[in-house]
Structure 1
Amino acid sequence: MMQKRSEFHFRYPPNIHELDLATMVSMYRSRGEPRKASPGQYFACSITQELMKEAKWWFGVYYSQSTWDNMLTKGSEGYPLTDIELNVLGSVYITEDEPPHREYVEKNSGVTDKLAYLIVNDLRSFGFLDEDDSGFIRITPRGEKALNGIARRIYEKRFLPEMLRSYTPEDEPKIEQAQKSDDSQKSLF
């Protein structure tokens, strides 16, 4: 896997798998919602540490509106992309000749099946992925823009297969070298 160059992007909590399904769905659905602090209380932006009365909410973490806007990536159309969405979009992108099945994409996302299911549904409803009646998924042109946007944010370059969590060097195409024939010509020099 390629070395990350920036941590300035949205991330799911590392222990999100511990949540029950109802809590996970609720938290996932309310990410990005504006929250108002109770009277006499304040929120602190997790990046700038500035105190504020209103903030955007992300799985228990708060961001100022300007920080939230800056964390959104080019081509995301306002969708808060993480490295997990990069895995989902990227795994579909690299198998374009033969679209992968939804189950494969969810299994290789890097999160629990339940959360992966929600993410794939959202990416579909946002127009980044298309799914046929048999469950095979293709990336859309909008999805490619979103994929390259999050890849640039995290790795500072366009998407490459090495950015995928499931990437292994064996995935690289092999370039065969021509073999010298045994009856090589004698040098005249």
Structure 2
Amino acid sequence: MAKNEVRSLLSAVELRADGDGRTVSGYAIMFDKPSQDLGGFIEYIDKGALKDVNFDGVYLVYAHDMNQPLARVDAGTLKLKVDDKGLFFKATLPNTTVANDVLENIRVGNIKGMSFAFTTKADTWTFGKNGSPDIRHVTAIDEVFEVTITPLPAYQDTSIAISSRDASKPAYGKRERMRDELAIIRVRKEFM
């Protein structure tokens, strides 16, 4: 059962005037950097987490809206490269209303964030003590669906990660499991 998760981060989105000035680049995923508190836990994407990921079907979209496409790997308008820092992207945006608005908002500094939607293949948890947050290390990502340019680089839709963390705790009861399974169904409907 795939668990779609969405993460957003402040990232150096750059606007480059390559020829027609429609190229944007930056990092959609940064390795070994702590997330903000995601509701009781801090998350890290480990360096080897993207090792076996196939990026052939990845889209670049605006604000996680698949109806707002900006580029695609299989169209040749989106390039993705894993390096020591994370997942670097470079995209040439089309001459559409959405893309023109995104380019202008990047130019004036209104948009500085990146995000990504993914499923986890493997992770580890260290449970915090005395009120400190739990720590999650995503050690293997199964699939990256999209990378997103977003004006709101705050983490969102974290109920799935919370449910996987809580399921590992001994006091995880039937009521909590049902609550989390309903949250998973709601998120899955949103992304499917």
TM class, shorter-length: under 0.3
Larger relative contact order, structure 1 or 2 (CA cutoff 8 Å, min sep 6): 2
TM-score (normalised: structure 2): 0.23
- Larger Rg over CA atoms: 1
Instruction: Identify, as 1 or 2, the structure richer in helix.
Output: 1
Instruction: Identify, as 1 or 2, the structure richer in strand.
Output: 2
